[in-house]
């Protein structure tokens, strides 16, 4: 999904949903730097947006969202609708940016996403969030990154903290088995996925959440579109089967008739039942 495609969807939908008084109960803090620029490495600063319920009579559960875009595109600003709607439902929501391919590989993206989670753990209390109730969600490539840092503690070990994620929500997640996918596709050198994941099959396996599943992981809420891309269907089915082999019984919802982009654009509808399911998952 390109930013242009998603922007058209959002703009069209807003004609019907309206934008006026709907977000007055939300306090928005935008473009907060969670990782400073590194001029020596030509690395840009990474930023996030915080959407907080204006009702501050108690600490709120925190949802961190990572957007999709094939690991090479997308921007947090396209997903403000999700932050606003979740905050209006009394969940403090953080939408992050992360570096994109070809300037960064998947490991750098995941490391920066984990750094954003660390920032939330250390700072979210001042925005009304509960640092002990941090959940993470992602769509498409963002679902891959969210899953990887949830199940693979390497990323938080690097940062010197215990994994603070209490649960993850996968929304038509891509890349759960990049090893199997890239072996099958046999892309030529220079392909965007090879820029992100290299040409080394050992790296593909290291990048795949499927091969890092373990006992004691945070719980997962998994959504897949019934008409999503075949590669996402195959990898999600493998992933769920592997979870069951470990003794987990994951909450796995296949949404009939949903294609890949509508799996995230459905959240433009404030009354979408996924909101209730996600909040119930977070509050169990």
177 Cβ neighbours under 8 A, 6+ residues apart: 208, 210, 234, 235, 238, 239
pLDDT in tens, 52-77: 999 878 899 999 999 999 999 999 99
**CA separation for the pair 209, 187 (Å, rounded):** 21
pTM value > 0.85: yes
pLDDT in tens, 185-196: 999 999 999 999
By the 8 A CB rule, do 101 and 196 touch? Answer: yes
pLDDT by 10s per residue, the chain, length 284: 444 554 455 444 443 344 444 556 999 999 999 999 987 677 899 999 999 999 878 899 999 999 999 999 999 999 999 999 999 999 999 999 999 999 999 999 999 999 999 999 999 999 999 999 999 999 999 999 999 999 999 999 999 999 999 999 999 999 999 999 999 999 999 999 999 999 999 999 999 999 999 999 999 999 999 999 999 999 999 999 999 999 999 999 999 999 999 999 999 999 999 999 999 999 98
pLDDT in tens, 173-214: 999 999 999 999 999 999 999 999 999 999 999 999 999 999
**CA separation for the pair 135, 147 (Å, rounded):** 11
Q: Which residue has the tokens 């959940």?
A: 135
pLDDT (0 to 100) of residue 4: 53
By the 8 A CB rule, do 105 and 197 touch? Answer: yes
User: Which helix or strand (DSSP H or E) is residue 13 part of?
Assistant: helix 3-17
Fold (CATH) for 3-283: Rossmann fold (3.40.50)
DSSP 228: S
Mean pLDDT (the chain, rounded): 93
């Amino acid at each position: 999904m390109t930013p242009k495609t998603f922007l058209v969807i959002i703009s069209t939908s807003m004609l019907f949903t309206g934008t006026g008084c709907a977000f007055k109960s939300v306090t928005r803090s935008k473009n907060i730097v969670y990782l400073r620029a590194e001029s020596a490495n030509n690395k840009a600063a990474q930023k996030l947006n915080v959407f907080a319920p204006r009702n501050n009579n108690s600490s709120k559960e925190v949802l961190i969202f990572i957007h999709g875009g094939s690991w090479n595109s997308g921007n947090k600003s396209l997903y403000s609708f999700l932050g606003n709607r979740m905050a209006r439902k009394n969940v403090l929501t953080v939408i992050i940016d992360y570096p994109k391919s070809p300037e960064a590989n998947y490991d750098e993206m995941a490391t920066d996403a984990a750094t954003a989670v660390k920032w939330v753990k250390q700072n979210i209390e001042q925005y009304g969030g509960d640092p002990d109730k941090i959940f993470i969600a992602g769509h498409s490539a963002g679902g891959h990154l969210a899953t990887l840092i949830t199940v693979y503690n390497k990323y938080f070990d690097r940062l010197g903290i215990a994994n603070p994620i209490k649960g993850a929500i996968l929304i038509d997640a891509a890349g759960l088995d990049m090893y199997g996918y890239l072996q099958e596709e046999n892309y030529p050198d220079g392909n965007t996925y090879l820029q992100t994941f290299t040409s080394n099959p050992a790296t593909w396996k290291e990048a795949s959440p499927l091969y890092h599943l373990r006992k004691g992981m945070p719980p997962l809420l998994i959504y897949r579109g019934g008409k999503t891309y075949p590669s996402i269907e195959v990898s999600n089915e493998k992933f769920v089967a592997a979870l069951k082999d470990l003794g987990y019984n994951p909450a796995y919802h296949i949404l009939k008739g949903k294609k890949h982009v509508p799996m995230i654009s459905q959240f433009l509808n404030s009354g979408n039942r996924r909101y209730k399911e996600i909040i119930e998952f977070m509050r169990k």
